[in-house]
Amino acid sequence: PLTLRAGEDGDSPEAGCRLMRELLFSRPDTDAAFMHNDELAVGALRAALQLGRKVPEELAVFGFDSIGTGRYLSPALTSVEQPRREIAAALVAELLATLADPAHCRFVPVACRLVIRESA
């Protein structure tokens, strides 16, 4: 796998567009791209389509966050949905436990869900 990093444009759709162009120019045989958030994935999807790649037939595009806007794109964005309330509750519980006992430290797994839409 190839890992590209966002630059000064951060995690924006513009950065996703730039990163997808870099990816497809350096590795034209790429058949899937996973972005670490949906904002990047929106730009990546746009760049792929502008470069004539058929999504998902030739290239699958995945995001992470499952923001509401992704379902309104064409093709709709496949993404990983995080249980935000469960994460917040676990974070607060762990923070309170750590305040009560500074030696407290544990890993709390949280199940995410793949929301399969049209981009993969």
In single-letter form, the type of residue at position 54 comes to K
Q: Does domain 13-82 have CATH number 3.40.50.2300?
A: yes
**44-62 pLDDT, tens digit each:** 999 999 999 999 999 999 9
Asked if residue 10 has pLDDT above 70, the reply is yes
Give the pLDDT mean for 21-37. Answer: 94
CB 4 within 8 A of CB 23: yes
pLDDT given at position 6: 63
pLDDT band at 37 (very low <50, low <70, confident <90, very high): very high
C-alpha–C-alpha distance, residues 116 and 120, integer Å: 7
Q: What is the pTM of this model?
A: 0.81
- Residue ranges of domains in the chain: 13-82
Three-state DSSP at 34 gives strand
What are residue 79's DSSP bridge partners? 63, 115
**82-104 pLDDT, tens digit each:** 999 999 999 999 999 999 999 98
Helix (H) or strand (E) holding 23: helix 13-26
CB 47 within 8 A of CB 30: no
Asked if residue 24 has pLDDT above 70, the reply is yes
Asked if residue 42 has pLDDT above 70, the reply is yes
DSSP code for 76:
P
